[in-house]
Amino acid sequence: MSQTNKSKNKNKRKTLRYITVFIIIFILFFLSTFYKYYKRTASDVVEAGKLEESILLMSEKSAINIALKHEKQLIEAEEARIAELEERKQKNLALEKDKKKAFLTFDDGPSETVTSQILDILKEYDVKATFFIVGNLAEKYPDVIERIDQEGHAIGNHTYSHRYNYIYRRTSNFIKELERTEKVLKAILGENYETKLVRFPGGSFGDKKAPFRKAVLDNGYTYYDWNSLNGDAEGHYIPKDKLIERFKSTYKGQKEITILMHDMDSKYTTPESLPYIIEFLQKNDYEFYVLE
């Protein structure tokens, strides 16, 4: 090869190297400028905290954009769900606060005739009640206890013997009587059955029963008294009209009313008065509940 050709080729290679170096420098300059612009823009987006603007910086079809949109939709849906639940909760609380509640309660049973008559009436009116039963009578009429439970009524403990001179002699006697009645109920309704509702014979009122109230609570029970009654314990064979009037005299328009009645067989006028008491409460916008 001539010297002239060699010189030309050398010059071409040299020129090509210059062009290559220039292109590399240009690319690096472009990338550096683009990186600074992207970094500054991304920083502004993060500082502004605007999710929508950062989404616009990305391709509409990018996986990141799709994931962010989906996440945003999930967050908005969850926020809407929480707001709806809170609104519904507040409405329910307002409705619950305005409700007038009636608790029909029957003590001293079960009995062969009167308890069954009361259950028939409650079934007819589709009303639930609470029965505070005596243990030795539950042993005598287990089928009535089964019916009370099967028809959705609540069962409470009213001691085993109902003998005042024994159960109120000492607190240990009282607790033993409650435990004995619990065993009776389990024998009838199954080992898994449990009730912690208690009503004191004669009520829990007064300073003398303070130790008994404490013992009951310490043993995991809840006791209930009453703030209205039909007066069926105030005598024998009281006519139904007098029972109704006695109830109305103690009703007093209370927002929550717990009515004391009895279902022993000697209280045969109690079921006769019961429909009138139920209808009176319904007309006055009460809803019926069981004690828990």
What integer pLDDT is reported at residue 70 of this predicted model?
Answer: 72
Q: Which amino acid would we find at residue 122? A: L
> What's the token pair of residue 266?
């000697």
Domain span at residue 150 reads: 101-288
Last residue of a domain, one of 75, 94, 113: 94
Q: How far apart are CA 171 and CA 4, in angstroms?
A: 127
What integer pLDDT is reported at residue 247 of this predicted model?
Answer: 98
Q: What Rg, from alpha-carbon coordinates, does the chain have? A: 41
Q: Are strands 256-262 and 286-288 parallel, antiparallel or unpaired?
A: unpaired
Q: What is the pTM of this model?
A: 0.69
- CATH number of the domain that residue 134 is part of: 3.20.20.370
What integer pLDDT is reported at residue 38 of this predicted model?
Answer: 56
The total number of structural domains in the chain stands at 2
Q: Is 253 left (phi over 0), alpha (psi -120 to 50) or beta?
A: left
260 and 125: one domain? yes
Last residue of a domain, one of 74, 94, 114: 94
Helix (H, G, I), strand (E, B) or coil at 197: strand
Question: Each residue of 189-205: pLDDT tens digit?
Answer: 999 999 999 999 999 99
Q: How far apart are CA 279 and CA 256, in angstroms?
A: 16
Residues of the chain short of pLDDT 50, as ranges, are 45-46, 48
260 within 8 A of 105, measured Cβ to Cβ: yes
What integer pLDDT is reported at residue 46 of this predicted model?
Answer: 47
What is the DSSP-derived secondary structure letter of residue 162?
-
Q: How far is CA 249 from the centre of its chain?
A: 34
193 and 264: one domain? yes
Question: Each residue of 152-200: pLDDT tens digit?
Answer: 999 999 999 999 999 999 999 999 999 999 999 999 999 999 999 999 9
